[in-house]
Amino acid sequence: MAVLETIALAVWAMLPAYVPNNAAVLAGGGRPIDGGRSWGGRRLLGDGKTWRGTAAGIGAGIALAGILSAIAGEVGAVLGVSLPTFPLRAAIGLAAGAMLGDILASFLKRRTGRERGAMFPGLDQLDFVVVSLPLTALLATEWFRAVFTWDVVLVVVVLTPLLHVLTNGIAYALGLKNEPW
């Protein structure tokens, strides 16, 4: 069925952008990116955005893209879907874009007076899509055009918030995250 194929393709193509946030939660800690600096009486980003978490997140996303590229043929054959491999530029765009989007979201949260960990519905669920897709389009234009057709992008925008709520709920239940968002 075409819809299921599109969903499989969308999840596959977005995995290198989904994993960085979770890896950052596991690896986070240490020096905050903003170095403790404030702007207008509020932290620039806050203690929740660290160098270690960001590096681990980008590394995990790129590593996953490499693994997916190696098994794309086999998994695609099992699912009966043609799944793309990830050129390095696409992997970097997806992984770094996800982390950048998350950092940008924290910047916006602090500017709107939200403390670390505060909820920002909508932004929390789609921040990484908003940056990772344009950055990937910029870094790997041909690949992006071939993989992220409009139907795939639509599935990503609808499915990502659901997956985000689900994975963060699990991370919260396991005690890995302080809040379920």
In the bound complex, what is the minimum distance in angstroms from residue 108's beta carbon to ligand CTP? 10
* 56 torsion bin: left (phi>0), alpha (psi -120 to 50), beta (else): alpha
- State which residue, 7 or 96, has the beta carbon closest to ligand CTP: 96
Q: What residue is closest to ligand CTP based on CB?
A: 53
The minimum distance between CB 54 and ligand CTP, in angstroms, equals 4
Secondary structure E strands in 98-145: none
Cβ-based nearer residue to ligand CTP, 50 or 69: 50
Q: How far is the CB of 139 from ligand CTP (least distance, A)?
A: 20
Report the 10 Å Cβ neighbour count for 172. Answer: 14
Half-sphere exposure at residue 82, Cβ-oriented, CA atoms within 13 angstroms: 2
Q: Is 60 or 152 the residue whose CB approaches ligand CTP more closely?
A: 60
* Choice between 14 and 155, CB closer to ligand CTP: 14
Shortest Å, Cβ 138 to ligand CTP: 21
Residues 6+ apart with CB under 8 A from 111: 40, 42
Q: How far apart are CA 109 and CA 94, in angstroms?
A: 22
Q: Which is nearer to ligand CTP, 31 or 145 (CB)?
A: 31
**Which positions touch ligand CTP (CB under 6 A)?**
24-25, 28-29, 46, 48-50, 53-54, 57, 99, 102-103, 106, 109, 116-118, 177
Which residue in 141, 105, 111, 112 sits closest to 126, CA to CA?
105
Shortest approach of ligand CTP to residue 165 CB, angstroms? 13
Task: Give the single-character DSSP code of 115.
Answer: P
